[in-house]
Structure 1
Amino acid sequence: MGISLSLQQFLDNRGVNYDVMSHAPTKHSLATAQVCHIPEDNLAKGILLRRRDGYLLAIVPASRKVGLSELGEWLDQPIGLATEEEVTSVFADCEPGSVPPVASAYGLQAVMDDSLEGFEHIYFEGGDHCTLVHVTGREFHRLMSSVPHARFSAPLH
């Protein structure tokens, strides 16, 4: 499949410089980082959340998980994980479980964890389980310039 059409059009329309990398199929972001020989902290992943007024995409490194209570407290409202069916519906041009962390490409609001700050390179799923998009840290932060930042994640281990 490769990079999703929504993501590709969004990146191209904004003049984002990016590279597309193919890799052996993986089932989760930690395995993707290992197969691609990139640090888990440099692989951004999107987690679709449900809140009172719709959906929110939480963006965290592969090495971390969303702290639902911390993020809910920061948002001042309860949140929960979206169902698999909801994720498939919102990210219709992506394989199930492969959510690009570029919320604006899908008309979503987002929040980015502070732990993604300061990296020279950022990678993220392109819409399937065997394609990564690589951007510089500067390009990633330009993409995320309108996204609020907060500290709401916790280490996986």
Structure 2
Amino acid sequence: MGLALTLQQYLDDKHIDYEVLKHKRTCSSEGTAHASHVPGDRLAKAVVLTREGGFVVAVVPACARVELKAIERILRCPVEMASEDEIAEIFPDCETGAIPPIGEAYAVEAFIDQSLDEKPDVYLEGGDHRSLVHITGEQFRELMKDVRHVRISASH
């Protein structure tokens, strides 16, 4: 499948320099980090949640889990994990479980965990289970400048 076209166009439109790394097929962000020899705290994973009136993407390191209660406090409404069918509707050019953490590319509100703010470089799921996008931390911060940066994760 390769890099999701929506993500590729978005990165190109924003003039982001990126490198696509290929790796063996994995079925989790942590597995991707391991297969790619990338620190889990530098791989930004997207967790798609349902909320009153729509969806939200929580962006956290691959080595962490989303704290749903933290998101609920911020949004002041309940959230839960989106179903695979819902995710497929929002991210039609991506495989389930390989969603890029750039919600804006897909017109979905997002929150990013503060722990990703100071990383020198960041890796993103590319839309399939074999591609990883590598960008500088500075470019990642530029992409995420309009996203709320909050503490929304906890270690596994």
* TM-score w.r.t. length of structure 2: 0.98
Unaligned 5+ segments in structure 2 are: none
Q: Deviations over 1:96-139 (max 9, x none)?
A: 21110010110111000111121111001100000000000000
Aligned length: 156
Determine the structure 2 residue equivalent to 1:67.
Answer: 67
RMSD: 0.7
Match of 1:20 in 2: 20
User: Following the alignment from structure 2 to structure 1, what is the Cα–Cα distance between the partners of residues 82 and 42?
Assistant: 24
SS in 2 for 1:27: coil
- SS, match of residue 127 in structure 1: coil
Say if 2:137 is the partner of 1:117. no
What letter matches 1:67 in structure 2? Answer: E
SS of equivalent to 2:105: helix
Structure 1 residue 87, shift from structure 2 partner: 0.7
Distance 2:33 2:42 in 1: 8
What SS does structure 2 have at the residue aligned with 1:99? coil
In 1, Cα distance between equivalents of 2:118 and 2:32: 21
Aligned to 2:58: 58
Distance 1:84 1:27 in 2: 14
Paired residues for 1:5-16 under 5 Å: 5-16=5-16
Equivalence for 2:108: 108
C-alpha separation in 2, matches of 1:16 and 1:152: 26
Identical residues among aligned pairs (%):
43
Q: Give, in angstroms, the shift of residue 42 of structure 1.
A: 0.2
Cα distance in structure 1, aligned partners of 2:127 and 2:39 = 20
Distance in 2 of aligned mates of 1:123 and 1:12:
16
Counterpart residue type for residue 30 of structure 1 = E
TM (norm. structure 1) is: 0.97
